[in-house]
Amino acid sequence: MRKSNRLFFIIILLILTLFGCQLVSHSSQLIQAKVIRVVDGDTFVAKVEGKEEKIRLLLVDTPETVHPQKPVEPFGKEASQFTKEKLRDQTVGLEFDVQERDKYGRLLAYVYLPDGSMLNELLLEKGLAQVVVFQPNVKYVDRFREIQKKARENKVGIWSE
């Protein structure tokens, strides 16, 4: 009985060690950004490594509110307000995918809030964004599509109309 208890204890210790290493490696990959202002639901400006940068959330698109040739779209104001509330006075973590910048020079990122939640996912959960794919950045596309599917099934936000 002692050997089995010892083996069980060693296995649990190994699992915890491996899990802990994954958490450390994930958080160490994040770049810190101090939010300056929110442009709209999927774009904001932040201080990144001492430089002011415009940041575009990866794999999500929120309804328009500031597009020069498009009217304000349904749920656009709600998406912008949600993003403002989540990012106001925050330092966030940025995770990049394959491509670091888009054709407009914006940083492309998955954005982690101080509580560890990802803003990109929260917007999808609330029905304030939809999945949009611009290759080659597809790291979380399957996960995001599942979140969007649930929001659509529950008729949340943009899926309520």
21-71 residue pLDDT tens: 443 334 458 999 999 999 999 999 999 999 999 999 999 999 887 777 777
Residue 113 lies in a domain: yes
Residue 21 lies in a domain: no
Please answer whether residues 120 and 111 qualify as being in contact, where contact means their C-beta atoms are separated by less than 8 angstroms: yes
Residue 52 lies in a domain: yes
Which one of the listed residues 53, 95, 106, 121 is annotated catalytic?
A: 106
Mean pLDDT for 90-117 is 96
The pLDDT, as a whole number, for residue 40 is 94
Which one of the listed residues 53, 56, 95, 121 is annotated catalytic?
A: 56
56 is catalytic: yes
The pLDDT, as a whole number, for residue 22 is 40
Residue 34 lies in a domain: yes
CATH code (residue 38): 2.40.50.90
Counted domains in the chain: 1
- Residue 103: phi and psi, rounded to 5, are -65, -15
The token pair at 54 is: 């415009």
Residue 18 lies in a domain: no
- Tell the residue number behind the tokens 């979380």, with chain if given: 140
Residue 146 lies in a domain: yes
Range of the domain at 156: 30-160
Residue 5 lies in a domain: no
Residue 59 lies in a domain: yes
Mean pLDDT of the chain: 87
146 is catalytic: no
Q: With left for phi above 0 and alpha for psi between -120 and 50, is residue 80 left, alpha or beta? A: alpha
Vertex 136 angle, CA 131 and 138, to 5°: 40
Which one of the listed residues 53, 64, 95, 121 is annotated catalytic?
A: 64
Percent share of the chain, pLDDT over 70? 83
